[in-house]
Amino acid sequence: MSLHIVVIGAGIVGASTALELQRDGHRVTLVEPGQPGGPQAASFGNGAWLSPASVVPMSMPGLWKKVPGYLMDPLGPLTIRWTALPALAPWLLRFIAAGATVPKVEATARALKALLSDAPERHTALAAEAGLADLVERKGLLYAYPDRAAFEAEALAWRLRRDNGIVWRELDGPALKAFEPTLHPRYGFGALVEAGAHCVDPGAYVAGLVAFAESRGLTRIEAAATGFDIVGGRLQAVRTAKGSVPCDRAVIAAGIHSRALAAEAGDKVSLASERGYHVVVATPESGPHLPVMPSDGKMANTPTRAGLRASGQVELAAVAAAPNWKRADVLLDHLLNTYPGLPRQVPEARLSRWLGHRPSTPDGVPVIGQASACTDIVHAFGHGHVGLASGPITGRLVADIIAGRPPERDIRPYAAARFRR
């Protein structure tokens, strides 16, 4: 049966979902206040990794001991703005609890594996179908450490990866130097996940996917969704700033802006912005030939079309809070210290900085499934650090739900109902 479906949000999840729904023969309208792939979206500025290895949650056992230090260090890898602490406290308590024990993080890793295990293959196929094959590169992903001891200090993280099917090749000393000669000599050990891939221009990729969907009949409305018209438990329309859009079904894929929409659909979801930054050095004199994650910086160093991008940091603060561009400069400093071939002073004209909002649940697992108050509405948000990689499989799961088919993956770990506990 062909339906009219409104997809709210034109990030990677919304774009992938629109294409999957079209594949099933539905008429799709995409609602997004900005240009698809634009800088207003997390899809624009993320680390660009398509990593099956991203199964390790942010919250891990023992994290609670570090929170006071995070509060005192405004430029650390994870920081919390004091002014936002009262509003963030419930989310933060859930965040700490989600990683309190090894069994909890093992369950999270399994839930993420289901979304990430074949991410490079799905993106390769999707990009090729949309005529965007040159935007996805499968060169692997490198984790760099000062030495083997530093690698072994993250034993739980790598055990979670191994338990979930991740294979890596170890590069010791000269082998690492030969593989990635641009790295600073202080890095003496590497773990190469050869199955990994990356996107060389995430913004253009998302824009291209939406353009491809438009060529297949997608209607796009440039407006913010503001709510739903629901009568007797059935969806009548999606309300937008430009008027109501009558429809049969709706998908909430609006990233950080999904929480209020989910609440109107009957689900109170714990969702916060893990504000992330990036800096890009255009025409870099040096840099890696594939994406690198240095252990001492915990940031993604990714070759992109625009230049060498360093992305990372987690800043818990209000969505509307002003950027702290010093955090982007921390990324730049680390980038310059990681690749000696870069100049110590990069001209400002060759630098670009960005702040975006990772839509993050406390347990690091997205919300995917039918809404409580109206099963005509489907959730597809809260992907946190894995949104780009897990976009295509999320779109497939949403299409399965709407079609009434058994979902390709078990969706129970992603239910909004878990936040009622």
Residue 382: its pLDDT value, please? 98
CA-closest candidate to residue 367, choices 263, 224, 246: 263
Report yes or no on 313 lying in a domain. yes
Domain count, the chain: 1
Report yes or no on 167 lying in a domain. yes
Contact 30, 14 (CB under 8 A): yes
Q: Which domain holds residue 374?
A: 4-61+107-420
Q: pTM of the full predicted structure?
A: 0.96
Residue 74: its pLDDT value, please? 67
**The token pair that represents 141 in the structure block:** 């992903």
| Cα pseudo-dihedral 196, 296, 102, 413, rounded to 10 | -40
Question: Cα(421)–Cα(419) distance, rounded to whole angstroms?
Answer: 5
Q: pLDDT tens track of the chain, all 421 residues?
A: 899 999 999 999 999 999 999 999 999 999 999 999 999 999 999 999 999 999 999 999 988 787 777 667 766 777 888 888 899 999 999 999 999 999 999 999 999 999 999 999 999 999 999 999 999 999 999 999 999 999 999 999 999 999 999 999 999 999 999 999 999 999 999 999 999 999 999 999 999 999 999 999 999 999 999 999 999 999 999 999 999 999 999 999 999 999 999 999 999 999 999 999 999 999 999 999 999 999 998 899 999 999 999 999 889 999 999 999 999 999 999 999 999 999 999 999 999 999 999 999 999 999 999 999 999 999 999 999 999 999 999 999 999 999 999 999 999 999 999 998 7
Question: Cα(249)–Cα(174) distance, rounded to whole angstroms?
Answer: 57
Question: Cα(280)–Cα(303) distance, rounded to whole angstroms?
Answer: 9
Report yes or no on 85 lying in a domain. no
Report yes or no on 76 lying in a domain. no
**The token pair that represents 25 in the structure block:** 């023969």
Q: What is the CATH number of the domain that holds 366?
A: 3.50.50.60
Report yes or no on 87 lying in a domain. no
The β-bridge relationship of strands 307-316 and 49-50 is unpaired
Per the DSSP assignment, residues forming a β-bridge with 278 are: 311, 354
Q: Which residues contact 12 (CB under 8 A, 6 or more apart)?
A: 43, 202, 205, 206, 209, 387, 388, 391
Q: Which residues contact 61 (CB under 8 A, 6 or more apart)?
A: 99, 100, 101, 102, 105, 156
Report yes or no on 78 lying in a domain. no
Residue 139: its pLDDT value, please? 98
Report yes or no on 390 lying in a domain. yes
Report yes or no on 90 lying in a domain. no
Place of tokens 């980038």: 335
